[in-house]
Structure formats: structure tokens, C-alpha cells
Amino acid sequence: MAVDQQRLRRCLNPESIAVVGGKEADRVVEQCLKLGFAGDIWPINPRRETMQGLPCFNSLAQLPDVPDVTFVAIPADPSIEIIEKLNIAGGGGAICYSAGFREVGDDGLERHHKLIKAAADMPVFGPNCHGYINTLSGAALWPDQHGLTRNKSGVAIFSCSGNVGINFTLQQRGLPVAWLVTVGNQAVIGIEEGIAAALDNDKITAIGIHIEGLNNLPLFVELAHWARLKGIPMIALKTGKSVIGARTTMSHTATLAGENGLYTALFTRLGIGQVDTIEEFLEALKLAAVTGPLAGNSISSMSCSGGEAALIADLAAARDIHFPKVEPEHKKKLQATLNEYVNVDNPLDYHTFIWGDRERLTATFSAMMGGKYDLNLLIIDVPHITGCDGEEWELAIQAFIDASRHTGSNAAVVSSMSETLTDSVRETLIENGITPLQGMQQALAAIEAVCHIGMTWGRECLLPKIQVSTTTVEAHQIYGLDEYQAKQLLKQAGVAVPVSSLVSNPSAACRAATEIGYPIALKAVMPEIAHKSELNAVVVGINSAQQHKREVKRLLKISESLLVEEMVSDAVAELLIGVSYDSQFGHYLVVGFGGTLVELIDDREILLLPVCRNEVMCALKKLKTWPLLNGFRGRKLADVDKVVDTVLAITNLVEQKKDEIVELEINPLMVKSKNKGVIAVDALVRMRILH
């Protein structure tokens, strides 16, 4: 049953709060009072007279009104009973703190279903959930200490982990948090519904999701598009490894993808920033909220140290971040503000000749920002207030603020170490629209993520179609085409395949070889043979009738049918083009380096369907082996246009037969030189039996 959106708004933005239970309920009351919640708080505990000075009620029925949200911290079975009563009474929603649901096995699974039935359309976070904090209203449905303070606006963070949620509240990075929401087992309310509620709130400036997985991908795609239209950036921290949903695979394709690869492809397509650590997550959210999405990845950096300039350049080399060279005219303007000993470059070491001079620092910073970079960085570590005089550092910070205000450019301050920006500096920078980023590596990860958001938003949006079957694809429902059948299917779809002949006896094989012309390839043909080279079931480069006769005799012992095929030997590169099926994501595409060493080389890009021509081309250019297609060291240029044509032909075929095709793989696709085409020399197709 769909959750009532009006009740969800009441639940997350309450004017009245009830708590049920003992110690944990008491802590929730304490945290609400400490955070300054101005609404009604009604403790329910028949064994206690008061909680934190507030009178206790014996039961839900005794409350003066129906609460907007109730924190339920009693054992699992009575939790279900009170949630049912809340739903019948018209409560806004509930937090189910109790464990003992589907995470504990069969008994818990039964409780899980009872909870869903009891809640009906009333939103319930949990079970096994730590609650939420709303710093906009002071509502802290949170049975623990935390480090958040009241805010007028800020980011919304949704976490699958209660303890990690606690850690998020303890951050000392100046990140303005509006909501911190943990979701527990997501029996009724998932992260997707939480995101929808955040997008409905104009005080939310960015959204962060810490997830192991998502429950409703089609809804998530819609929400990501809504966030894009509203200009609300999203950052994802995906944790956890698991086996891909399609367990019936025989191809390389699914092995190369994996669940995390599919999530990466999803977030990439939707323009959601991706990070790997908690520090990067918080820094990226901060940059997204304060500065906003960046239109490109052109960055400038300034510091008064050559060591810092070199270090940030080195660290950025592995990321999709660009420090463009300073153009001649721009260089003249910048040089005019500096000592003649300064080598003007980007990253810029402006030396210490102007240190402590706010006017000259402002002139240099303004001149650098005149280069029209997407983001301008000042690297500076501020002394701790205790025992140090930070006046000159404050002058540099003020000069950077002046320059940013004068030029209207995006700006961020980066400390080389996470701990060397003070609270007052962070607050001053944020008040002036400048993002304080702590730690070079974390800062660069954040910048890369936020650049990706803006660059994706700047392109035409082609939303993935998450189409999954309503029934599970079981192994006994799958059958494989042999190589000849697979190639005939591909040929009908417009994919080039070698000239070939299917034979079943030596004389027919001899005639086919003569007609095709030596050299030829000879292959055993059976659907069960997925990787023929591992079984010595394929012979290439046969140059004579004698050799051909000998190999035909041997291979007919392996298979009743043989494929006699022309040799393709003039390829510039070999690629893998595969489509596989995942029970959550539906069909997806893999393009990458091909051949027998495909998993060892592990050079691939994953795309969700549908895809357009530009996306396929971008994926090819991201491959480590792209230079082989692009004339590496004097090699011939490959027929990349025909590669893209072939990929689109394959995805069109899969769209036409989406209910039938479970796996399709070409490996290798032999790519010839420009204008010479491509040929699929080996193919695997597995189909689902339609009832």
C-alpha cells in the first residue's frame, strides 16, 4: 500500500511528538528539549510519572490529541500493536525502534508482514531504526547524543545504518544538516520515500544517501529526475558487496558488471555524485549545498607553497579534474600582481611576497579567478586559536572572500589536513558562499563528484528504463542458442558476422572450406559450449585441406555440428559487447576490452538501457584501451562509428525481445580500420522460454 504523503509530511515535520517506552523514550524527550522543539511532547509509560519533567500518560488513548509522530521503543510484538492503534487513530507516522523483525529469520519475517499490515498507509520508519533529527524544527526522534544544532536550511542525509547516522551527526566540518534520517529495515518507508519528502521541502539544499541498496529503482529514477529539475544535487555513498541478481550467467558480461557496477552506472546516468568514504561524502555534500553543481571540471588552485601546488596536482591526476594551463593574456594580468620570481602556472604557487597584504592578495586572487574556471581553490591551513596568532591567515581568507565577491566566481578553501580549519573560519566562508573543504584528497573527491553532477545536468537527459520481469528467471527456463543460431539472430538485427557454413560431416566441411577459401576457422557447435577455447573446441588459421580434414575428424568427436568460417585477421582491436539481465536493474550493457583475457584485463564500462549514440561513444573513450581504437603509436584508426552502430543494433534487438533474451554477448567483436567495419566472430545468446 502506498504511503499517505500528507501523513509523511506530518511525520517528518511534527508539531506534536509522542514517545512510548522507557530509557530510549526518555532520551528522545531529552534530545527534543535540548534541540529546542517548541511543540507538544507526550511521554507514554504507565510505570513512570514523568520523563524529563513532563507528565507521563498511561496509554495512547489518554493523549490530548493524535500525535504527528510517535517514537515506539518497546519490544517487537507490542510495537506492532501500538502502530496499528496509531494508524487507526490517524497518527502522522511512527519510528519503530525495536529489533526482532526480518533480520532474525522466520519469526521476524512474520512480524515484518504484520507490521506492514498494521501500518497500512501510515508512514513507519524501521523497524530496527534509530530515528531522525530535524534541525529545522528541533524534532529529535533520536535516543542518543548527537552533535547537530538548529539550522534554517541545509542538507538531508538518509542512512541505512543507525550507528553511521550517529557518526554523521558528530561531524566537525561545518556541514549544515537539516535532516538526518535513518531508515532501519525499510519495511514501510524506504530511502526513496524519504527523498521524495526532502524534495518537497524548500529548506533542503542537497540530499545525501548512504545505502547498501535501493528497493524501488523506477521510483528512484523519477526522484533523481525531479531533483535535477529542482536543482537539488544528490550524493551517494554506496556500501556492501553482493552477488549479481542474474545467477544463471554463462557469459563474461555479468561477471564484469556486478551489483556495485550497476549502481555506479545508475548514478552516473542520473547525475548523482559518487564517493567512497564518509569524509568524502560529507565534503561533497558541503560543496553541493554551498557552491552547488559545477558546470565543468576546469579548476584553478592557489597556494603560497610549491609543495602544496605539486601535491594537489599529483592527487588530482587520478581524477576527472582538469587544471588548465594559464593562457598568455590571462598570464600577463596575473603576473602583474606578483613578484617577477613567481612562475605563473596552474596550480599557482604565489610565494610569500604578498603574504599579509590583503590588498595585494585580493588582486592576485581576483586575477586568477578571471580565468573563468568552474571552481577556484585557495589552499591554506589555519593555526588553531589556542596559542597562535592567526591574523595573517585571516587576512588571506578575507582577501579570498573579497576576490570571490568581486569576480562572482565559484570558490572553495582547501586545507591540506582535515583538522586545520577552525569553526570560525568555516562559518565565515559559508556565510560568504565559499565552501570550506577539509583534506586535499577528500576535497578532490568532493570536487570530482560535484563536477559530475553539473556536467551531467548540462547534457540531454536520457533516463534509464528499469524494466524487470515480474517472475524470477529460473535456470530451467533458460535455453542457449548455438553459435550459428546466435549469429543468424545478430545478422538479422544488422550485426556483421563472418561468412560461414554449418556442416555435420567431413565432405560437407571440405566443400565449405573450399567455397569460403583458406585460411578458415573451425568450431564445434553446441549451445552448452560457452567458452570454446577452454575446451580446445575452436581452431583458427587453418591453411590447408590436410589440416582441415584432421581437425574436422577431431572436433566431430566433440560435437555433431561444426561451423566452418572465414578468418578475420586484419583487426585493429578486439572488443566485448554484452547485454545481461539483473533481477533488480533489468537489462544492461557492457562494452569493453575483448578476447580470452577479458576478466584479467578488466577494462569495461557499464551502461543501463536505453542508450544513445553519444553515451556509447563516451563509454568507449573511457576505456583504458581506447588508444588502441584511436591510433595509438601510429596504428590505424579503428572504425569506431561502426562499433557504435553495432552496439545500438544489439540494444535495439534486446528491446524488441526483452522478454526472451536473458544474455547476449559478442566476444570478440573484431574492429577493423576506419571505414572497414566490424565483425562479430563469436557470439553467445541465451533465451527465456515464454509460456
Q: What is the mean pLDDT of residues 537-558?
A: 91
CATH classification of the domain holding 119:
3.40.50.720
Query: Which residues have CB under 8 Å from 603's CB, separation 6+?
Result: 592, 593, 623, 624, 625
Query: Is residue 183 located within the same domain as residue 244?
Result: yes
Q: Are strands 683-688 and 661-671 parallel, antiparallel or unpaired?
A: antiparallel
- Same domain for 83 and 218, yes or no, is yes
* Euclidean distance between CA atoms 678 and 645, whole angstroms: 10
Map 230-267 to HEC letters. Answer: HCCCEEEEECCCCCCCCCCCCCHHHHHHHHHHHHHHHH
328 and 265 within one domain:
no
- What is the CATH classification number for the domain harbouring 642? 3.30.470.20
Residues 148 and 280 in one domain: yes
CA distance 224 to 394: 40
What kind and span of H or E run contains 132?
strand 132-134
Q: What is the 3-state secondary structure (H, E, C) of 418-438?
A: CCCCCHHHHHHHHHCCCEEEE
Find out whether 336 and 368 touch, Cβ atoms under 8 Å: no
Residues 107 and 255 in one domain: yes
Cell numbers linked to 688: 527465456
pLDDT of residue 469: 64
Secondary-structure percent of the chain, ordered helix, strand, coil, rounded to 5: 40, 20, 40
Contact 9, 94 (CB under 8 A): no
Count of CB atoms within 10 A of residue 52's CB? 17
| Domain identity same for 51 and 163 | yes
Cell of 431: 556565510
Rg of the Cα atoms in the chain: 31
> What are the CA-CA distances from residue 5 to residues 123, 170, 189, 196, 269 (Å)?
8, 30, 11, 9, 28
Q: pLDDT tens, 170-208?
A: 999 999 999 999 999 999 999 999 999 999 999 999 999
Q: Residue 246: pLDDT band by 50, 70, 90 thresholds?
A: very low
The span from the first CA to the last CA of the chain, in angstroms, equals 30
Which of the four pLDDT bands, split at 50, 70 and 90, describes residue 255? low
Residue 314: φ, ψ to 5°: -65, -45
The cell for 368 is: 586568477
Distance CA 652, CA 664 (A): 12
Percent of the chain with pLDDT over 70: 95
**Is the backbone of residue 642 left (phi > 0), alpha (psi -120 to 50) or beta?**
alpha
H or E stretch covering 397: helix 391-407
Residues 519-535: what's their mean pLDDT?
A: 75
483, part of any domain: no
* % of the chain beyond a pLDDT of 90: 82
Q: What is the CATH number of the domain that holds 557?
A: 3.30.1490.20
The span from the CA of 200 to the CA of 227, in Å, is 10
- 540 with 617, same domain: the answer is no
- 668: pLDDT strictly greater than 80: yes
Q: What is the reported pLDDT for 496? A: 96
Task: Answer whether residue 95 is part of any domain.
Answer: yes
Determine the Cα–Cα distance for residues 646 and 672; give it in Å rounded to an integer: 13
485 within domain boundaries? no
Q: Sign of dihedral through CA atoms 597, 602, 607, 609?
A: positive
660 lies in which domain range? 573-688
Helix axes 252-270, 440-457, angle to 10 degrees: 80
Q: What's residue 530's pLDDT? A: 55
By the 8 A CB rule, do 682 and 490 touch?
Answer: no
349 three-class SS: strand
Q: Which residues have a Cβ under 8 Å from the Cβ of 601 and sit 6 or more positions away?
A: 593, 595, 625
Q: Are strands 435-438 and 411-415 parallel, antiparallel or unpaired?
A: parallel
Residue 474 forms part of a structural domain: no
Same domain, 112 and 248: yes
User: Quick one: 162 and 311 in the same domain?
Assistant: no
More confident residue, 266 or 385: 266
| Domain assignment of residue 467, yes or no | no
pLDDT of residue 690: 79
Asked whether residue 520 falls in the same domain as residue 604, the answer is: no
The answer on pLDDT for 680 being more than 70 is yes
SS3 344: coil
pLDDT at 398 over 90: yes
Residues 304 and 450 reside in one and the same domain: yes
Place of cell 534486446: 654
Gap between the Cα atoms of 141 and 14, Å rounded: 10
Per-residue confidence band for 536, with pLDDT thresholds at 50, 70 and 90 = confident
Least Cα distance to 289 among 449, 459, 408, 527 occurs for 449
Residues contacting 337, CB < 8 A, separation 6+: 354, 360, 363, 364, 367
**How do residues 466-518 score in pLDDT, each as one tens digit?**
876 655 666 568 899 999 999 999 999 999 999 999 999 999 999 999 999 99
What are the φ and ψ backbone dihedral angles of 171, each rounded to 5 degrees?
-60, 145
| Cα gap 260→672, rounded to integer Å | 33
Residue 611 pLDDT: 94
Q: Domain check: are 48 and 182 in the same one?
A: yes
Predicted local confidence at residue 250, as pLDDT = 45
Domain assignment present for 655: yes
| Residue 149 counted as domain residue | yes
What's the pLDDT at 256? 52
Q: Are 393 and 430 in contact (CB under 8 A)?
A: no
**Count: domains in the chain:** 4
What CATH number does the domain containing 334 carry?
3.40.50.261
β pairing state of 50-51 and 604-608: unpaired
The yes-or-no verdict on residue 561 having pLDDT over 70 is yes
Give the confidence band of 623 by pLDDT, cuts at 50, 70, 90.
Answer: very high
pLDDT at 350 over 70: yes
Question: pLDDT tens across 86-96, in order?
Answer: 999 999 999 99
User: In whole angstroms, what is the distance from residue 283 CA to residue 420 CA?
Assistant: 14
pLDDT in tens, 630-658: 998 888 999 999 999 999 999 999 999 99
pLDDT given at position 244 = 46
* CB-neighbour burial class of residue 635 (10 A; exposed 0-12, middle 13-18, buried 19+): middle
Q: Is 462 a member of any domain?
A: no
238 bridge partner residues: 211
Query: Helix, strand, or coil here: 654?
Result: helix
Letter string b/e over residues 542-555, b meaning 16 or more CB atoms within 10 A of that residue's CB: beeeebbeebbeeb
* Domain closes at, from 521, 548, 566: 566
Pairing of strands 94-96, 478-481: unpaired
3-state secondary structure 158-227: EECCHHHHHHHHCCCCCCCEEEEEECCCCCCCCHHHHHHHHHCCCCEEEEEEEECCCCCHHHHHHHHHHH
Asked if the model's pLDDT at residue 146 lies above 70, the reply is yes
- Using CA atoms, how far apart are residues 124 and 132, in angstroms rounded to an integer? 12
The answer for residues whose C-beta is within 8 angstroms of residue 631's C-beta and 6 or more apart is: 637
Q: What is the mean pLDDT of the chain?
A: 92
- Write down which residue in 252, 272, 287 finishes a domain: 287
End residue of a domain, out of 530, 546, 566: 566
Given this model, what pLDDT does residue 391 score?
Answer: 87
Asked whether the beta carbons of 529 and 538 are under 8 A apart, the reply is no
Length of the chain: 691
